[in-house]
Amino acid sequence: MAPMTDSLDAPEQIGRLAAATAVIASLRGPIRAGEPWPAGPVSGDGPEAEWGPPEVLAHTSEMLQYWLGEIERVVAGSPQPVAFGRVSTDQLRTLTIERDRSLPTGELISRIQSSVARYAARLPELSAADWQRRGLHPRLGEMTVEAMLQRFVVSHLAEHAVQLRAALGG
């Protein structure tokens, strides 16, 4: 994929987010049919690959909101790299997933769809300079807004859509 250099690439990223969200939404029935899902471990350094549908939906719901806020933090920050992000053991992340995994499937999917709509509204507004703003992640170091979007949002959501489909045998 060619590097993002201006807001003209925003439609591609929005399309990828929408496609992953459509996969997740298409699984609403099979997820409901499998309820109640056993609660899997969320805390600690355990891999997300072991999560069941409730944890995956709760995580994707919270992570989309979280990373949009972190992108905004970097865009609005100083010209020097702005501290941003978290690691998988972040307590607020873990507690939010543990809390939200008990929400109805439809509510979590609606939250995911709503967050993707927020990205669809915001990404086209970013300038070429915004895409190149730099943040400083606690584990990965310096990253541009473009790299943040790719790693923490677009690719991550697509991975979880695949994970959900696989967990449901599809």
What is the distance between the alpha carbons of residues 161 and 113, in angstroms, rounded to a whole number?
13
The dotted CATH code for 7-167 is 1.20.120.450
Identify the pLDDT of residue 44. Answer: 59
* pLDDT 10s digits, 109-138: 999 999 999 999 999 999 999 999 999 999
* pLDDT 10s digits, 52-92: 999 999 999 999 999 999 999 999 999 999 999 999 889 99
Between 10-26 and 155-167, two packed helices, what is the crossing angle to 10 degrees?
20
What is the distance between the alpha carbons of residues 86 and 138, in angstroms, rounded to a whole number?
7
On the question of pLDDT at 10 being above 60, the answer is yes
Domain ranges of the chain: 7-167
User: What beta strand segments (E) does the chain contain?
Assistant: 82-83, 134-137, 141-144
What is the distance between the alpha carbons of residues 34 and 32, in angstroms, rounded to a whole number?
5
Identify the pLDDT of residue 121. Answer: 97
Q: Structure pTM?
A: 0.91
